[in-house]
Every structure is written in C-alpha cells, then in structure tokens.
C-alpha cells in the first residue's frame, strides 16, 4: 500500500468527520458518522503499519474495521428504504456468524473470509430490498459496485491492499452521494418554499383585502345601526305624539290666558305694574317649560350612535317618563316610582337608555291595555324601581298586564317579531332594546306569568367603556 495515498484518504476522511460532527443532530449525519468509524479505524491502522510493520495491534484494528464496515454501511443504506431494521440486523447476524467464526479458526484465510463477509451482507441487503431497490438509482449503484468488485477480487486479484482501498473509496463515494441526495432534496425544498412564500404572499394580500372589506362592512353596519336607532326613536316619537302635544298645550294655554289678561288690563286702563311683572315672569317660566320639552324632543330624535359618559340612571328614567307620561296616563295606567337617590353613576348613553325605558314601559302599557279589554274595571300599574347592589345598579320595571306567553318568550328580541296587530307594531322596539342592553354590558332577567311581567336590568359598575371607569 502507498503511504501517501493513505494520508490523502485520511485527510479527506478527517474533513468529512468534522462536517458530520457539525450536523450531528441530523439522523443521516449520525449514520454516516457511525459508518466512518470503521473506515477511520482501517485508515489509521494502515498508516501505523507503515511505521511499525510488526505491530500486532494495527492488524487487529484493520480487521475490526473491515468486519464492522459492511454492517454500518448496510444500516446507512437501509435508512433510505421502508424496511424494518430490526429483522434485517437479526438475519444479517445469523448469516455473518459462520464467516466470522471461520475468520478466527483459519487465520491464513482472513482476507478472503472478510471479502466473503462483505459479499454476504451486501447480497442480503440487495435481496431484502427486492422491488424497492431501483427507487433510488444512485444508492443502487453504490451497493452493487462494491459487491461486483469484491466478487471479482475474491476470484482473481486476492490483493489485501486493494481490498482496503476499495472499502475506503466506497465510503467516500457514499458520503458524496448522500451529500448529492441532500443537495437535490434541499433544492426541491427551496422550490417548494418559494412556492409557499408566493402562496403566502397571495394569502396575505387576500387577508388584507378581507380586512379592508370587513372594516368597510363594520362601518356600514354601524351606520345602519344608527339609522335603525333613529327609526326606532322616530317610531317612539310617533307613538307619544299625543302626549307631547298635551305637554306643549299646557304652557301655551297658560301663556295665552296670562297674555289676554294683560291686554284686557291695558285696554281698561287698569294695568298694575307689579301684577304685570309677575304675569310676565309666569309667561317666561312657561316659555322655558315649552323650550325644555322641544329641546328634549330635538335631542332625543337626533341622529347619532352610542356616546358613553357618566350618567344618573334615575334621571334617564324621569326623562323617558316626561315623553310618555300623558300617553301612559291616557290608558288609565298608574306609574309608581321607587327610585333610590343614593345609587351611583353608571357608564352609559343617556338617549339610548331613554329609548330602552320608553320601549319597555310602552310594552308594559300595551300588555295592561290588552288585559283591560277583558276586564273594564281593571286598574293597570307599572312599578319602576332602582336599587344599588355591591357592584351594580339594578332597574326593575314591573307591570300587572297579561304577561308574555312562554312559547314566544325566547323570540321577543328577534328583529321584526311582533304579536301586535298590523300597523300597531314594527317589531324593532325590543330588538333595539336588546342591542342597547348588550352595548351597556348589562344583564337582563325576565319573569312573566298571567299576572304580569318583570324586567330586571343589572348594570355593572366595574365595567370600563371608552375610557370611562366606574367602581
């Protein structure tokens, strides 16, 4: 054997060893690392034999490496195919045992026996793979060429040095073929990643467009919600027009009477200055009252969404009653207040809550009127109560009307659902009321029977809304 050639092989194997150690976490790298051990054992031993030809240990190391190599090589090749390793190893051990036994019994025939061992293991490997063999042609080439060379060497050449060289060269070829396989797979992986990145970019563009469309839809929904709120408020105003007219008629009648008295006094030359000042003060007060009613109606009918701030729930209740008081009284229904003045402020939208209370109170009035149809002397009553709990404010609206049938109780919040006669109900009042309740983060509990209905609204004090915190 040539020492320089062995030195070149050793250098190449050392570089390969360092590369494999850098990728030790990879399974293929670990198998190649396992396969390089007997190769390094053979190379180092062969180099030492040039320095100490008679050294017994170098011969042992060479033999050990040459015996181990086909086993590690077979494990490396099997990793590319769907074959059960455990069965293969057991069968290989059974096939190899007689050859290894002869290796120790007949020392003078060791190199031919090693050659025979390699051929047996490679042949068993090829037989085990059967139809799977030609799936990966480059691996098939790696396995068949050493087998043919060993067979030719066993029959004709019988040169120990060439056998060692063949093992070393087979490993180096194997390493570069595996590297080629990985580079090809990496190239395929890069192509797939490129396609994936392109697809991902298209997906991101689609997501961006969907987000933009979603934002646009949210704006449209919010605008429609405001319009629906506006429609509901106008419907409520139409419902209470008679009551509002009565509210305005009272101060206007007073203004007319006082003004007529002043005119009569002037015509009769009986004007009392002090009395005139007092009468004008009354007129001013009545004008303020009329302006207050008009401003309330104008504010209530204003087109806007929800605007949360700290509000007094009792004041919202009374403002709602101002708009519908005469309407309720005209149905011979009494309103009883039990408002707790000590309740804390809540975070809410005053106009929306007024709308909510108007809807609930008018529904109570309608339920009472329906019951009075069967009992003319029946006295309707709506009880409105506010109380403070540990971390909430509770509003209760209770009536003694006909109640809500159990079969439709779950549907009362459904948009455009109504049990009223055609032309008397739009079906959006309670639906909008439910939306207002949800916007305020409130909880609603309904108890109903043939004796009446109770709506219990619970407003959480610890709830934050648009920077408003109440606790």
Map out the domains of the chain as residue ranges: 3-196, 240-303, 308-471
Site of tokens 């809550």: 353
Section 125-135 average pLDDT: 68
Report the C-alpha gap between 118 and 124 in whole angstroms: 10
**Architecture, CATH, for domain 240-303:** Orthogonal Bundle (1.10)
Per-residue confidence band for 384, with pLDDT thresholds at 50, 70 and 90: very high
Assess contact for 300 and 235: CB atoms under 8 A.
no
What's the CA gap between 77 and 371, in Å, rounded?
Answer: 91
Query: Which range among 153-157, 305-309, 354-358, 431-435 has the greatest average pLDDT?
Result: 354-358
Question: What is the distance of C-alpha 15 from the center of its chain?
Answer: 50
Task: Give the range among 99-103, 302-306, 318-322, 355-359 with minimum mean pLDDT.
Answer: 302-306
Q: What is the largest CA-CA distance in the chain?
A: 159
Task: Please report where in the chains the tokens 């793979």 appear, as a residue.
Answer: 129
Task: Judge whether residue 396 has pLDDT over 90.
Answer: yes
What percentage of the chain exceeds 70 in pLDDT? 66
Q: How far apart are alpha carbons 410 and 251 in whole angstroms?
A: 44
Mean pLDDT on 361-389: 85
Q: What is the pLDDT of residue 239?
A: 57
Range ranked top by mean pLDDT from 65-74, 100-109, 207-216, 274-283: 207-216
What is the per-residue pLDDT across 213-263, written as a single tens digit (0 to 9) for each?
A: 898 988 888 777 777 666 666 666 555 565 566 556 667 777 777 787 777
CA dihedral of residues 407, 413, 417, 422 (deg, nearest 10): 100
Q: Which of 62-66, 144-148, 195-199, 447-451 has the lowest mean pLDDT?
A: 144-148
Tell me which of 2 and 104 has the higher pLDDT. Answer: 104
The architecture in CATH of the region 308-471 reads 2-Layer Sandwich (3.30)
Q: What is residue 395's predicted lDDT score, i.e. its pLDDT?
A: 93
pLDDT at 468: 46
Instruction: Quote the tokens at residue 469.
Output: 């915190």
69 band by pLDDT with thresholds 50, 70 and 90 = confident
Spell 401-428 as b/e; 16+ CB within 10 A means b.
bbbbeeeeeeebbeeeebeeeeeebeeb
Confidence of residue 79 (pLDDT cuts 50, 70, 90): confident
Whole-number Å distance between alpha carbons of 412 and 419: 9
* Total Cβ atoms within 10 A of residue 246: 15
pLDDT computed for residue 421 by the predictor? 57
pLDDT at 161: 60
Mean pLDDT, all residues of the chain: 75
- Give the pLDDT confidence score for residue 144 in this predicted structure: 58
Q: What is the pLDDT of residue 387?
A: 92
Highest mean pLDDT among 94-98, 235-239, 299-303: 94-98
pLDDT in tens, 171-230: 666 666 667 666 777 788 888 888 899 899 999 999 989 999 898 988 888 777 777 666
- Identify whether the C-beta of residue 43 lies closer than 8 Å to the C-beta of residue 49: no
Q: Percent of the chain having pLDDT more than 90?
A: 7
Say if residues 388 and 460 touch (Cβ distance below 8 Å): no
Distances (CA, A) of 229 to 353, 376, 444: 12, 36, 20
Spatial distance between the Cα atoms of 351 and 177, rounded to a whole number of angstroms? 80
Same fold, 240-303 and 308-471: no
Query: Mean of the pLDDT values across residues 26-50?
Result: 73
């Amino acid at each position: 054997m040539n020492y320089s050639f062995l030195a070149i092989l050793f250098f190449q194997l050392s570089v390969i060893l360092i590369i494999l150690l850098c990728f030790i976490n990879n399974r293929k790298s670990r198998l190649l690392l396992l396969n390089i051990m007997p190769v390094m054992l053979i190379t180092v031993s062969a180099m030492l034999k040039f320095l100490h030809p008679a050294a017994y240990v170098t011969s042992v190391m060479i033999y050990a490496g040459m015996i181990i190599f086909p086993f590690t090589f077979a494990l490396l090749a099997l990793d590319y195919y769907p074959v059960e390793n455990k069965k293969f190893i057991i069968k290989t051990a059974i096939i190899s045992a007689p050859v290894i036994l002869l290796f120790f019994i007949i020392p003078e025939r060791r190199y031919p026996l090693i050659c025979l061992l390699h051929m047996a293991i490679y042949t068993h490997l090829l037989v085990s793979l059967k139809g799977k063999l030609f799936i990966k042609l480059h691996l098939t080439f790696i396995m068949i060429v050493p087998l043919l060379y060993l067979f030719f060497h066993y029959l004709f050449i019988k040169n120990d040095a060439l056998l060692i060289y063949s093992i070393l060269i087979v490993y180096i070829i194997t390493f570069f073929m595996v590297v080629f396989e990985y580079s090809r797979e990496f190239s395929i992986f890069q192509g797939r990643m490129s396609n994936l990145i392109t697809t991902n970019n298209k997906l991101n563009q689609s997501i961006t467009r969907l987000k933009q469309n979603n934002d646009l839809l949210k704006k449209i929904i919010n605008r429609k919600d405001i319009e629906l709120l506006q429609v509901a408020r106008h419907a409520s105003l139409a419902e209470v027009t008679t009551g509002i007219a009565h509210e305005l008629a009272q101060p206007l009648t007073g203004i007319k009477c006082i003004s007529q008295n002043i005119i009569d006094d002037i015509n009769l030359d009986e004007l009392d200055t002090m009395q005139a000042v007092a009468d004008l003060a009354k007129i001013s007060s009545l004008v303020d009252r009329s302006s207050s009613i008009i401003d309330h109606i104008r504010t209530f009918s204003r087109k806007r969404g929800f605007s949360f701030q700290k509000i007094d729930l009792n004041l919202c209740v009374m403002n709602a009653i101002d708009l519908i008081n005469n309407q309720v009284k005209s149905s011979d229904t009494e309103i009883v207040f039990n408002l707790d003045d000590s309740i804390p402020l809540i975070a809410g939208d005053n106009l929306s809550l007024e709308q909510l209370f108007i809807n609930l109170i008018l529904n109570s009035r309608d339920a009472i009127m329906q019951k009075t149809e069967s009992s003319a002397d029946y006295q309707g009553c709506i009880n409105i109560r506010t109380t403070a709990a540990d971390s909430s404010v509770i509003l209760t609206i209770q009536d003694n009307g006909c109640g809500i049938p159990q079969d439709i109780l779950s549907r009362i919040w459904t948009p455009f659902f109504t049990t009223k006669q055609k032309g008397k109900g739009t079906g959006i009042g309670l639906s909008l009321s439910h939306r207002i309740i949800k916007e305020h983060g409130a909880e609603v509990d309904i108890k109903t029977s043939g004796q009446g209905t109770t709506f219990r609204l619970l407003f959480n004090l610890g709830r934050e809304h648009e920077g408003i915190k109440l606790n």
